[in-house]
Structure 1
Amino acid sequence: MKSMRTLTREWLLLPDQYDRFTRYLRDNGLTTATRLLLGIIVIVMGVCALLNRFSPAGPASTIALFFNSVVVISCFMVGVSWWVFGPTKRRSFGFVVFCDVAVSIAILGDSAPLGRLLSSVIYVLMGIYIAYFHNPKLQIAHLTFSVVMIVVAAQPILFGPERDPALGVSRVLVVVTALLICAYISQIVLAMLSVDASSSDLDPLTGLLNRRGLDRHVEKVLAEFQRQESAALLVIAIDIDRFKTINDVHGHDVGDRIILRVSQRLSAWARADAVVARVGGDEFILAQRLSVPAIGPLLDSIGPAMHSNTDEIPSISSIGIAVRTHKFVAGEERATAFTDMQKVADSAMYESKRLGGGRVHTIVTTANR
């Protein structure tokens, strides 16, 4: 059985869940419903803040009224933008920060002590959101911030003129316990989804597609390539150089962190509609289509995007790229053509290794190949 220290370390090393979970939602047709629900939640927060202005327990001072107005307007703007523009990883991080700040302003502007603690329950919802969409480090920051704000919110009932310490402490314990337990339960559910993913389309370590998932999802890329005029199809093979030596010298925990680092950099570099998969221990495949004029700049950018001189434990990868600009012809099986392109990309990648590793080698396929 693993020690608590080992489990905690493994938990802290979990990657950001945004790409994995949004992919899960997309594959199950839940993206629109989720966007709608999150937008409604933020707008309801704004409505609650607006109604609070008309309560005797609501904001009384000019400053409190000003910040209340800022929260109301911001909630409506963020809620509508969530519907119109849709989420990205950066917007999702901003959403977490915005909600924590907005809830804190609403809490501090409430003159009713118990009302403050009731509003603190929204921190619980944000903890659940972070558990599914983001990483443990953000969760720890959120939980720490939330507990501090809950204690601050309880100051009037703990030490104010009409203090009731017993009631205040009990309510603080209820809210903090709910905050921690809901985050923990959400993490368990996420772990169960990860176990399920390991036997389906996703790689459990990186959240990328596995080989089965690659074969199932690449058809959309191939269809878009066939439909779009003046489009190119790229298949990229990446292999971490001397990965066995890294594992032998530094241990498998470090090896896993390097795999995560490579997967995150590859996902960040790729277009949003690309298909990215981990197909082996340290092997990755990417397929995407793009316009022909964009090929050169994109190929020039992948090497710098994948390597950094500031890494604590450096690693380099050999990169092989197969480029196809001619469309599929009658009778040509797309799946077979994609398999052939993977072989070409692998050949280019092994050529990069033969030349010393840490290089990018490109092969352009021709119509009669």
Structure 2
Amino acid sequence: MRRSAVMGWWRQADQFDWFSVYLHDRGLQLQWRLATFAFTALLGALPLMMLGSPLGPDNTMTRSIAIVAAVCVFGAALLWLIRWPTRRQSLVYNVVCSASTAATCLVVSSPYAGLMGCTIFAAIGGFLAYFHVIAHVIGNFVLALVCATITASELIIDTGDAALTIASVLTVVAINFGVPFGIHTLVHTLRIDLRNSDRDPLTGLLNRRSVYNAVHEIAVAQQGSASVRLNITMIDLDEFKKLNDTRGHAVGDEALADVGAVLRENCSGDAVMGRLGGEEFVIADSEPAPEHAKTVERIRAGIAATPFQITASLGTCSVNVEPGTAMKHPEFVDRLLHVADAAMYRSKRAGGDRIQYAHLDQVSAE
């Protein structure tokens, strides 16, 4: 049980897309960009300031390394001033900041100053904890420990003060452990709570607002070095009003809950499933065409097999998304839902209990 809990913690999803959308929807991305730019610019100023200190770099090579580190960090800061980065750019930003911090800590002539400089890794780790997976947080933590070990060894050799060295190392370890891992736990819990608050209480599926965010996330997350397929399926129950009128709304609610169960039983684990309102449902996934066709057919048959004598009209929209595509939120999702909705109404006009397919032209980078 403990092992499975640890594995689940290790495999927790990257927060970048979810948190980026969350900040975008609340108009907070600009504030985050400016704050990150300011922090990074201050980080870049540190090695330059140490050039004027007797405790700073004391030879040509270490001074050159400090200057290169500062230039790299200032370059990383400019990214946040220009735009909100992609996931890959965010990871590169963190690598640059971590490497530059390590270089700055190791080139100063005072091992105590270098050891105390290792506390800066906590801020970088905190950023990683907000946006990225735990493996990246641990990687940053390990780099901080390596730098702390090297500078602590130099400190005890220079001063012979074991108490000061141990206290300094404990300070560095405590800050680098407590800040990033505390943030990671908090953000992961917040994500779960926010997702649960955005669920339809009757079916347990996502509600309309959460569907938009989740579909955008799955589209962005699936982007890589090759084109990916995104499928949106709209589902509308046939003659549902008749069921409510003849058997009552309580039975209608039971039918809606059963439809939600049919979706969960037949969709893949990474599919987005939502109830948009009334008797209208939506699914988003990235399955290849043959598997997607089998999934929607199982859903159609599963709904028809419920004990409420109802059927459903389904319409799907599939699109190939090229790497680097700029997908404006929520316009991109709106377009897909509109095409899938039109296909669903074709199914309904044809008599219901059937599936209509549509395919958008290939979406490429702007």
After TM superposition, the score normalised by the length of structure 1 is 0.62
- The one-letter code sitting in structure 2 at the alignment partner of 1:284 is I
Asked if the contact 2:48/2:66 (under 8 Å) is kept, the reply is yes
TM-aligned CA distance change 1:63 to 1:259, over 3 Å: farther
Number of equivalenced pairs = 266
Task: Write the mapping of 1:179-328 to structure 2, written as runs, cut at 5 A.
Answer: 179-201=176-198, 210-214=206-210, 236-237=232-233, 259-260=269-270, 277-279=272-274, 284-285=283-284, 316-318=291-293, 321-322=316-317
1:162 shift after superposition: 2.4
* d(CA) in 1 for partners of 2:211, 2:175: 42
Q: Secondary structure at the match of 1:103?
A: helix
- The one-letter code sitting in structure 1 at the alignment partner of 2:344 is K
TM-aligned CA distance change 1:217 to 1:195, over 3 Å: closer
* d(CA) in 1 for partners of 2:199, 2:85: 21
Q: Secondary structure at the match of 2:167?
A: helix
Superposed CA offset, 1:255-288 (max 9, x none): 9xx734xx6xxxxxxxxxxxxx4438xx7338xx
Superposed CA offset, 1:141-182 (max 9, x none): 222222122211212112x23232221122111111221111
Q: Match of 1:12?
A: 10
1:322 shift after superposition: 3.3
Superposed CA offset, 1:329-363 (max 9, x none): xxxxx9x968834736999xx759xxxxxxxx536
TM-aligned CA distance change 1:17 to 1:344, over 3 Å: farther
Superposed CA offset, 1:287-309 (max 9, x none): xxxxxxxxxxxxxxx76xx59xx
- The one-letter code sitting in structure 2 at the alignment partner of 1:12 is W
Q: Secondary structure at the match of 2:233?
A: strand
Task: Write the mapping of 1:162-181 to structure 2, written as runs, cut at 5 A.
Answer: 162-181=159-178
Task: Write the mapping of 1:31-110 to structure 2, written as runs, cut at 5 A.
Answer: 31-110=29-108
* d(CA) in 1 for partners of 2:189, 2:103: 36
Q: Select the residue among 8, 24, 30 that pairs with 1:26.
A: 24
* d(CA) in 1 for partners of 2:174, 2:232: 48
TM-aligned CA distance change 1:191 to 1:235, over 3 Å: closer
TM-aligned CA distance change 1:174 to 1:343, over 3 Å: same
TM-aligned CA distance change 1:237 to 1:216, over 3 Å: closer
Q: Secondary structure at the match of 1:284?
A: strand
TM-aligned CA distance change 1:89 to 1:169, over 3 Å: same
Q: Secondary structure at the match of 2:109?
A: coil
1:95 shift after superposition: 1.0
Q: Match of 2:327?
A: none
Q: Match of 1:146?
A: 144
1:4 shift after superposition: 3.6
1:39 shift after superposition: 0.9
Superposed CA offset, 1:199-219 (max 9, x none): 33489xxxxx9333256779x
Task: Write the mapping of 1:114-129 to structure 2, written as runs, cut at 5 A.
Answer: 114-129=112-127
Give unpaired runs (5+ residues) of structure 2.
217-229, 236-264, 276-281, 297-314, 320-334, 349-353, 361-366
TM-aligned CA distance change 1:155 to 1:217, over 3 Å: closer
Superposed CA offset, 1:59-97 (max 9, x none): 112111111111121222221222113311011110111
Q: Match of 2:304?
A: none
Larger deviation: 138-147 or 88-97?
Answer: 138-147
Asked if the contact 2:199/2:210 (under 8 Å) is kept, the reply is no
Asked if the contact 1:156/1:163 (under 8 Å) is kept, the reply is no
The answer as to 2:129 corresponding to 1:131 is yes
TM-aligned CA distance change 1:179 to 1:215, over 3 Å: closer
* d(CA) in 2 for partners of 1:215, 1:278: 7
Superposed CA offset, 1:130-151 (max 9, x none): 1110011212222222212221
Asked if the contact 1:59/1:111 (under 8 Å) is kept, the reply is yes
Superposed CA offset, 1:311-336 (max 9, x none): xxxx9444874389xxxxxxxxx9x9
1:193 shift after superposition: 1.0
Asked if the contact 1:237/1:346 (under 8 Å) is kept, the reply is no
TM-aligned CA distance change 1:351 to 1:42, over 3 Å: same
* d(CA) in 2 for partners of 1:346, 1:187: 46
- The one-letter code sitting in structure 1 at the alignment partner of 2:191 is S
Superposed CA offset, 1:101-127 (max 9, x none): 000000011111221122111111111
After TM superposition, the score normalised by the length of structure 2 is 0.62
- The one-letter code sitting in structure 2 at the alignment partner of 1:193 is L
Query: Highest Rg: 1 or 2?
Result: 2
* d(CA) in 1 for partners of 2:84, 2:136: 21
- The one-letter code sitting in structure 1 at the alignment partner of 2:40 is V
* d(CA) in 1 for partners of 2:170, 2:231: 54
